[in-house]
Amino acid sequence: MAVRTAQRLLLVAAAWLVAAPALGQNQSEIISEAQKPAFENLIRDYILANPEVVVEALQLYEEKRKLAEQEAAKEMVTTRWEELANDPFTPVVGNPDGDVTVIEFFDYRCPYCISVAGNLRANVQADGNIRLVMKEFPILGPESEFAARVALAASKQGEYEKIHFAFMSTKTKVTKASALKLAEKIGLDMDRLLADIESEEVDQEIKKNRRLATELQIRGTPSFVIGDNVVRGAVDMAKFRRLVEQVRANSS
């Protein structure tokens, strides 16, 4: 017991030595200058003998950082909910009157987005009461942005869902040429599409999505907002269904 107590005191002291400058406190207020070399050596020897304490500290720090990030994201979801869920120009697939709104940030050239798209669509269709809000978030270069623009332009002709899943089911990465070829194959009015690609409305939609992603600390695709949960990465469908049911339970 005495050894454990000494170890705890030593770790607390070490933490203070590290934290004191950041807190505006002089280390001389904790120990004297004469004591400091011996004390620092003691800390060093303890850490070298017990390196696992460094790993534990880093793990604890990472857990606290993630928790703080999650809480900040939840608050931002609440603050920005109308923009996230009800922007009139943002395409919606699934049930537009569904009782659960799920928001996806994605990129057509993202392999993880492509890998999850089929299962996501199947789960949304099987549920029948999910409103899936599609946030075009092109982060993988000019080809990604062009594909996003084509999809948003297609939505103005009422063909968003068709072209979205056509892009997501291609065996090769979407390019400018292949995006236009798919749009033509679907039967879109190409003159109108080419004009809408460069429209202010499309410009603003992509800018808004990027701003929302930044505020939610979304840096990669796919990312989802399900209730007040921000899920980063290709979500497992079992987890997806569980979160959807949690939203339903909380709203009933």
> What is the DSSP track for 167-210?
HHT-SS---HHHHHHHHHHHT--HHHHHHHHT-HHHHHHHHHHH
Q: Is the pLDDT of residue 27 over 90?
A: no
What percentage of the chain has pLDDT greater than the value 90?
Answer: 65
What is the rounded average pLDDT of the residues 2-6?
A: 44
More confident residue, 164 or 18: 164
Which two structure tokens, joined as six digits, stand for 5?
């107590």
C-alpha of 148 from chain center: 18
Q: CA 126 → CA 94, 220, 229, 230, 241, distances in Å?
A: 10, 27, 22, 23, 11
Show the domains of the chain with their CATH numbers.
1-55 (no CATH), 79-251 (3.40.30.10)
pTM confidence score: 0.75
Q: Which residues contact 62 (CB under 8 A, 6 or more apart)?
A: none
What percentage of the chain has pLDDT greater than the value 70?
Answer: 87
Q: What is the mean pLDDT of the chain?
A: 87
